[in-house]
Structures are given as C-alpha cells and as structure tokens.
Amino acid sequence: MIAKEHWRDNMSDPNKIGKEVIELNERLYREGATDGLPVVPPTDELVAEMLRGTDLPGDHVLGHLGNREDPLTVERLAANGVMAGCRPIHMPVLVAGGKALVDPASNSMSFSVSTTGWAYLWMINGPIRDDIDIQSKSGAFGPGFRANRTIGRALGLAYRNTTRIYPGEKDMATLGNPFKYSLLAGENEEQSPWEPYHVSEEDYDAEESTITLAGPSCYISWTPYRNEPEYILEGMIDHMDPYMTGSGGHKTVWQLLCPYSAEQLGNAGLSKQNVKEFVRDNSYVDASKYARGKYQDREVERNDPRDIPSRQLPQISDTESLKVLTVGGAGTVNATVGPSIGGPVTKRIELPENWDDLVEEYTVTPDWIKSSQFFE
C-alpha cells in the first residue's frame, strides 16, 4: 500500500492530476489513438524522456507502414511507448520491434487487418531480458510484468496509429483476438537444454539481444499425460489442431515448452532438430479436408475430391516451419501457438551509449512478495 503521505509529498494536487489524466484519456480514446484501455498521456516531456532510450533522432524513419506507406518515426514510436506505459529503458526493444514491423517479410500488413485476427507474437532473446526485467520464467505471458505487458502493447499501438486501422474499418478481425497486443515473453535460455532461438535459428551470438516477430492466431496450453519424452512429443502433435499447418518456413507453428518438459527431452538426448523432425514426421491431417479446400491447398482443391484417396498428409512440411523455444517456469504446462502467417523476422536490439546509466536510473525491482519472510 502506498502511503498517503507519499502522495502529499510528491504531487501538488492528486485530484486535479487524476481528473486531467482522465480527460486526456477520453480525448485520445475519442480520436482512436488507444486500444480501449487507459493510457499515459504522451506529453512532450514524457516523449522526450523516452527518446533518451535511443541514440536515433526522433525524426528518424524506421520504415513505412499501411496503404499510404506512412512513416514510422522514432518519435511516434516513443509516443506510443509512453501511452502503453513503457519507460526509456524499453526504447531499444521498441526500435528493434518497429524495424520488424516495417520489414515486408513480417507480412504485418496482411495479418494486422485479417478477419482471422492474428496476434503479434514477440519473443525476446539475449541479455536485454535481465537488463529490463523481461520475464521468461513463471507467468512470462502475463499478467504481471511491466516490460512484457507494455512493449507488445506499444508496438501494437504504434502499428495501429501509424496505419490508422480500426476494428470493423480496416482491421477486419471477425471476433478480434485477446492476445493481439499481449503475446510477449523472453525465452528461458538459462533453463533450456538447447541453444536459444536467436542462436539456433537466426545465427546471432548468444550475447546479442534480439526481438522476433510472428503472427499466430491461436494459443493452446496443454500438459503432457506424463512429463516424459514420448508424452511430451505426443502432446506437441496432439495440440496442433488441423488448422495449424506449417510450410515453407513462413507459415509456422510455435512449440513453447516449459523448462521441465524441455529438460526431459534434453535428458533423452534429443536435440531441438530431433524434436522438430519427430513432429514433422508424425503429425498429419486428413487429406479429405484438403480436398474440401479447408487449408487453401489449391492444387488439391482443384481436383475432384472423389479422386483423393482417404489418406493423411503431413501437417508440417519442413522443420523450418516448426519453432521450438523454452519459456516459463515451474510445472509441466506447455503451449502450442499458431499457425503464424507473420514473418518470422528477427531484429538485433541496439543499445544507446548511456545504457548502463539508464538501466540504473529506470530499473524498478519488484518487491511484491512478503510471506516468505516468515521462513527466514
């Protein structure tokens, strides 16, 4: 509980400030600049403060987005970061995420407006996770951790506000997607039996920090019957519903394994590639569903369905289309996320010269849990 004295000492008139913040929020909501949740007003001073988190000038154009190829500037990114609740130490991740959004390989233009309502999946690798407290262990996908919650929201708002897409107008997601701005986590590299994603998949050094963007539609959590290799592998396959197909390295399925399950696979001598190959070789969908065109396989669809034998077709065409990462904390719960039609694209997170000072100045160490003091 924050003491009333704290407010009296640090705010001239909390009631007045609160009222002004509400009024500014209503204005920003009316103008379509928010996601419906309250935002921090992007004042000149707060945006200038955010820009301390990058060596790039505010008018630097990261790239272009939308029908009119509107520029995504560093300043606009910072303003949306302020609104989402980010602090200057989050700015390097926002800049790298912005570069991912403007990369045509991300396919963000399609999946941001689609009726399917794809989410933005952001995975963070490297030492930046510790610097700015990006959670990769228990509760990594939230709620609870500021960086995890605000960075994805900021990048979603930046896309929306640069391209001016609104639900039912150009963002035509039929049902919407509760994960749209919420899927951001660090990889739990420390408890993984394998090389982290940015090293094994993207050829970065382990000491580099990266952000990876994909565009999945579904998040399915599951627990293996027993936390043993065969059941974990079986669970990965069983929880790829027939819609989750992967092909060509661009339509991907993401298997996010908790450390306990990943450890079991590692102890069994299975490499990440071994796991991918097993899933590729043992996941199938009914060919008759291809014949109905459900999976948009036009070559098959154009044939007479009666000519299609009743057989199975591979669900994952190649190991490039399956991603395996270690995420989360204690327990045996995993998640299958996909299919993704976004990217995946990975960008290096560049730090400003004053990084160490910024981290010291802006780090907030959570001090939430008091009960364990009983056992000290």
Partner 1 sequence: MGLLDPTTTAGYDSQEIHALAPRVDELNGKRIGLYDNGKMAAEPVLEVLHGKLETQYPDSTFATHAKEVKQDVQDPEKLAAVTKWAREEELDVCIGAIGDCGSCTKFLTWGMQAVEEAGVPTVGLVDEGFELDWQTNAIERGWPLRYNTDAVRSEVRDHDLIAERLTPETLDAIEDELTRPLTDKEQGIAPRDR
Give the binding site for partner 1 (CB under 8 A): 24, 28, 31-33, 41-45, 47, 66-68, 70, 75-76, 79-80, 83, 104, 107, 109-111, 113-116, 157-158, 161-164, 168-173, 293, 296
Residues 6 or more apart whose CB falls under 8 angstroms from that of 376 comprise none
Residue 31 Cβ vs partner 1, minimum distance, rounded to whole Å:
7
Nearer to partner 1, 39 or 232 (CB): 39
Burial class (CB within 10 angstroms; exposed 0-12, middle 13-18, buried 19+) of 279: buried
CB of 312 to partner 1, least distance (A): 23
CB of 251 to partner 1, least distance (A): 11
Which helix H or strand E contains 336, and what residues bound it? strand 334-340
Strand partners, 48: none
Listed residue (171, 223, 229, 198) closest to 348, CA to CA? 198
The token pair that represents 320 in the structure block: 């490039």
Decide if 365 contacts 92 (C-beta within 8 A). Answer: no
Contact 62, 102 (CB under 8 A): yes
The smaller minimum CB distance to partner 1, of residues 145 and 290, is found at 290
Token pair in block for residue 347? 């960008």
- Cα–Cα dist 193/205, whole Å: 17
Q: Whose Cβ is closer to partner 1: residue 78's or residue 211's?
A: 78
- Cβ 2 to partner 1 shortest distance, Å: 24
Nearer to partner 1, 109 or 308 (CB): 109
Beta carbon of residue 351, minimum distance to partner 1 (angstroms, whole number):
24
Smallest distance from partner 1 to CB 198, Å? 27
Looking at the Cβ atoms of 13 and 367, the one nearer to partner 1 is 13
Instruction: Tell me whether residue 176 or residue 178 sits nearer to partner 1 (CB atom).
Output: 176
| Rounded Cα gap, residues 353 and 351, in angstroms | 7
